[in-house]
A and B are shown apart, each in its own frame.
Chain A
Amino acid sequence: MTVTTAPEAALGVLPRADGSAKYSHAGYTVTASVNGPIEAQRRDEHPYEAHVDVIVRPAAGVGGTRERHLESILQSSLTQIILVKNFPRSLIQIVLQVEDTPENDYVNTKLVQASLSFAIMPALFQTAVLALLSAGVPMRATATATAVAIVPQDGTKKSVVDPSPRDVEIAQSVHVLAFTSHDELLLAESEGDFTVKEWDDVYETAKDVCCRPVPTKEGMEMVLDDEHTNGPDLRHFLRSTMENKVASDLHWK
C-alpha cells in the first residue's frame, strides 16, 4: 500500500497566471496558480502589508468547512515566508486545485469528508511554495512540509513518512510538519494519541525529510551511503526543480 514514488513537479503549467506549478507525490496531485501582487479588494486591503489569499478547491464537489480550515492554516504559514511588507495594499492570490487523491480500497469513499485533511496538507503546501517561486513572489525563505504517521505494527510502533489513506486510518497519530529553509519549525499539526517522546521522534524524522543538509560526499561514496533511506529529500527536490526550470528557460542563450 505504501506509495514510495519520488515527488514530481512541473513549473509554469498555466500560461495565463503569473506563476503556476503542478506537483504530485504520494498519490496526491495538486495544481496551483499564483497571481500577485494585484489590486486588493477594499475589505482585504491592509495599509502595511499584502493580503495573502489562499483558495483550496477539492477534487470533487465544492469546498466546505474542511477547506476553510486548510486555507486558514496555509494562509497564516505562507504569510510568514512571503515578504508581505514589500507590497502594501495589494493582494497575492494562491489558488490550489486538488486533482487527484489516493484511493483507499478498504473504506467506502465519501465525497464530503470533514476530517482526513492531514495527509493532503504537505502536497498543498509544497505546490503553493513552488507556484510562488514560479511567480517570482519575493520570499524570505522557502519551506518544505511532510506528513508522518505512527502506525502500530506487530506490537510495536513504526513511523511512516507520507502515509497512505490506509495508514492514516489505522494510525495512532498523524503529524504534519513544515520547516523553513532556515531549519525553523513553521507549522506543526498533530492529531491522535501520542506522547511527547513520540512527537520528538516524529520531529526528527520530519526534519530529516524536510531539511536534509546538502550531501558533502561525492560520487560513489554518496551512492553507497544508505544512511538516509527514510523518505525523499524535499529541500533538494525543491532546489533541483527550480534549477531545471531555470536551465530550460535559458536554453536559447
Chain B
Amino acid sequence: MATASPAPSGPQPSLTFTRPVFAKLSPHPYLLRTLSPDSPDQQPTRNNGRSPHQPRPIQINTSSLSQAHGSSLVRTGDTTVICGVRGELLPVTAIPQFRPHNGTLYDQDEDDEARARKELKDYDLLVPNIELATGCAPQFLPGVPPTTLAQTVSTRVYSLLHGAGVVDGRGLRVWYTPEIKKEEEGEMEVEEEEEQEEQKPQVVAFWVLYIDLLFVSFDGNPFDAAWAAVLAALRDTKLPAARWDPDREMVVCRKGADTRLNIRGLPVACSAAVFLEKEHAEVGRGEGNRHWILLDPDRSEEGLCKEVVTVVVDCSEGETRVRSIEKQGGTVVGRELIRGFVGVAEGRWREVKEAMGN
C-alpha cells in the first residue's frame, strides 16, 4: 500500500490499520479471522501466536520468600503469581467447641485420616487469600474492596484444598505426652488409675496455614496459576518443630528441626475457554455456530469467551483421577468434550509435574 512508493513529503497519514489496531478495535472478528485461515495449509492460530490447544509454558520457582515457611513463584506467560505459606499456632484452648478425640500419636489408620480431614475443615486450618494487586491488569483499581474475581478464585482454591485432600491434617497437630513425675509416684498410688488416664498423648495445638497469593501480573487464567502456586508452596513448606512447655503453658518452637509438610498427590488444574463464531448467536440452535476450545486463555481471549471449563486431574497414582470439573456459561461443552478435555488436562499435568521438579 503506502509503503510501495516512498512518501513524497512529510509523514502521510496511512489509510490502513496495523494488526494491533484491528485487534483492539474489533477483537472478535480479528480472532475469528486468525482462527479460520483462508487456505487449508495454514494452521489456525490465536492472536498470541499459539495454536488453540497450546498452553503457555509454566515456570515454577520455590523458596524465594525468606520469611514464609513455604513459598513459590509461578509464571505462565504474563500471568505471574507469588504464594507464601505461613504457619501460625492455634492452641486448642482458643478453639470454641473443641472436641478432643481419643486417637493417639501413632494412629495411622483411615479413621484417623478422615478425622484429620474433618479437623482441617472444622477448625479452618487452611486459610487461602488471594489478592489481585493494583496495576497487575488495567481493570483492577486501587482502593476498592476485593473484586468478585478475587473472591471467586479464593473460594475455588479453598474448596479444592479441602475437596482434593491435599494437606495431610495429621502433620498440623502438635502433641504433648505428660511425663510421670518421679517424686509423686509413691504418694499417689491410690490415684494411679486417674494418672494413667492422663498419661495419654493429647493434641495441644494446631498449625494454621495462611496461604496468601498475590498476582503480580495478570494475563488471564488466574485459577490454574493460583492453584499451581498453592501446590508448589505447600510442597515447599517446612514447619518448625513445636512442643508444649508445661511450665510456661505454651507451645514453643525449635529452630533447625523443621519437618516438611506431607502433601498428598499432585492435582493440576487445566482451564479452557470456548470461542464462538457468532458472538450473538442463540443458544439451543447452535448447530451452525462453529467453536474453538482455547486452552489456557489470556486476558483478551477471556473477554471474548463466555463459556469456561476447568478440570483438575491427578495422574500421580497411575490411573487418572479427576478432582474437580467446573464448566459454566454456555452449552457447547457437553459430555464428549469434557471427556476429551480430561485427556488434554493429562498432558498439562505432565508439563506441570516437570516444572515442579520431581
Q: Do A and B associate with each other? A: yes
Instruction: Encode A189-217 as 1/0 by CB contact (under 8 A) with B.
Output: 11111111001100100000000000000
- Interface of chain B, helix or strand or loop or mixed? mixed
CB of B24, distance to nearest CB on chain A (Å): 17
A73 within 8 A of B: yes
- Within 131-170 of B, Cβ neighbours of A (below 8 Å) are at 148, 151-152, 154-156, 158-160, 162-165
Closest chain B residue, CB of each to CB of A114: B158
Question: How far, in angstroms, from A186 to B284 measured CA to CA in the complex?
Answer: 10
- Interface of chain A, helix or strand or loop or mixed? mixed
Interface size class of A (residues with CB under 8 A): 35 or more
Question: How far, in angstroms, from A242 to B320 measured CA to CA in the complex?
Answer: 44
- Whether the pair B284, A188 counts as a contact (CB closer than 8 A) is no
A157 within 8 A of B: no
- Whether the pair B329, A69 counts as a contact (CB closer than 8 A) is no
CB of A159, distance to nearest CB on chain B (Å): 15
- Whether the pair A193, B164 counts as a contact (CB closer than 8 A) is yes
CB of A45, distance to nearest CB on chain B (Å): 16
Closest chain B residue, CB of each to CB of A80: B283
Neighbour of A180 across the interface among B164, B284, B324, CB < 8 A: B284
Instruction: Encode B330-346 as 1/0 by CB contact (under 8 A) with A.
Output: 11011100110010000
Given A68-B152, A72-B148, A185-B334 in contact, is the A140-B282 Cβ separation under 8 Å?
Answer: yes
- Whether the pair B327, A185 counts as a contact (CB closer than 8 A) is yes
Q: 8 A-B residue contacts at CB 8 Å?
A: A69-B151, A73-B328, A79-B329, A182-B284, A185-B331, A188-B325, A191-B164, A199-B338
Instruction: Encode A128-148 as 1/0 by CB contact (under 8 A) with B.
Output: 000000000000110000000
The 10 lowest CB-CB distance pairs between A and B, nearest first, are: A184-B331, A76-B329, A191-B163, A69-B155, A68-B151, A190-B325, A188-B327, A65-B151, A182-B284, A65-B155
* Contacts A66-B155, A68-B152, A190-B325 supplied; 16 other A-B pairs, CB < 8 Å: A65-B151, A65-B154, A72-B148, A76-B329, A77-B329, A79-B306, A117-B155, A140-B282, A185-B331, A188-B338, A190-B322, A191-B323, A194-B321, A195-B321, A199-B325, A199-B338
- Whether the pair B335, A200 counts as a contact (CB closer than 8 A) is yes
- Whether the pair A68, B155 counts as a contact (CB closer than 8 A) is yes
**Which residues of A pack against B, CB within 8 Å?**
48, 65-66, 68-69, 71-73, 76-77, 79-81, 85, 107-108, 110, 114-115, 117, 140-141, 175, 180, 182, 184-196, 199-200, 203
Question: How far, in angstroms, from A199 to B338 measured CA to CA in the complex?
Answer: 10
- Whether the pair A80, B159 counts as a contact (CB closer than 8 A) is no
Neighbour of B328 across the interface among A115, A117, A189, CB < 8 A: A189
Question: How far, in angstroms, from A118 to B322 measured CA to CA in the complex?
Answer: 17
* Contact partners of A107 in chain B: CB under 8 A: 118, 122
